[in-house]
């Protein structure tokens, strides 16, 4: 057994809702270079900055078919991740959050080294077998 957080094993859709999860969507944007001006890894490992909150909200709204989505509402959803230990806020840094990656993940799993990787693009990204390594 390895010390990956439980949520890291979850596939695209959770068993119950079968809907895209926000944290997964965020990772999806982060791995694509075309969104570098919208959201990007920055600072410490696992830390990312939302450079264009309105655009991230718009894209999230598109995905969820919620045309009235905005950053106020999206950020409330992000705040619910605090107790779940998926995310926390980087205090003092505007629009900056940090994934609760353990160092173990980064050491044992270089593909998650905060850079866009072809391994993570495509339908099978985050497949559990990929994480077993």
Partner DNA sequence: TCCGGAAGGC
Partner DNA sequence: GCCTTCCGGA
DSSP 59-106: HHHHHHT-TT--HHHHHHHHHHHHHHTSEEE-TTSTTEEEE---HHHH
Q: Does 48 bind DNA (CB under 7 A)?
A: no
- Contact stretch for DNA (CB under 7 A) within 12-20, 37-45, 100-108, 117-125: 12-20
**CB 22 within 8 Å of CB 12:** no
Best CA proximity match to 8, nearest among 75, 99, 77: 99
- Contact stretch for DNA (CB under 7 A) within 17-25, 38-46, 115-123, 125-133: 17-25
Minimum separation from the CB atom of position 94 to DNA (A) = 4
Residues 103-132, mask of contacts with DNA (x by CB under 7 A): ------------------------------
Tell me if residue 41 falls in helix, strand or coil. strand
Q: Does 14 bind DNA (CB under 7 A)?
A: yes
Residues 58-97, mask of contacts with DNA (x by CB under 7 A): --x---x-x-xx--xxxxxx-xx-x-x----x-x-xxxx-
Q: Can you give 49-65 as a three-state secondary structure string?
A: EECCHHHHHHHHHHHHC
Query: Where on the chain is the footprint of DNA (CB under 7 A)?
Result: 14, 16-17, 19-23, 60, 64, 66, 68-69, 72-77, 79-80, 82, 84, 89, 91, 93-96
């Amino acid at each position: 057994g390895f010390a990956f957080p439980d949520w890291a094993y979850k596939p695209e859709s959770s068993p119950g809702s079968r809907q895209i999860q926000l944290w997964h969507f965020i990772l999806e944007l982060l791995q694509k270079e075309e969104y570098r001006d919208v959201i990007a890894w920055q600072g410490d490992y696992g830390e990312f900055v939302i450079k264009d909150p309105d655009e991230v909200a718009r894209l999230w709204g598109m995905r969820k078919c919620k045309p009235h989505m905005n950053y106020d509402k999206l950020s409330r959803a992000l705040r619910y991740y605090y107790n779940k230990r998926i995310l926390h806020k980087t205090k003092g840094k505007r629009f900056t959050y940090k994934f609760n990656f353990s160092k173990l993940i980064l050491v044992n799993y270089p593909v998650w080294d905060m850079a866009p990787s072809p391994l993570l693009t495509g339908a099978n990204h985050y497949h559990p077998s990929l994480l077993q390594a």
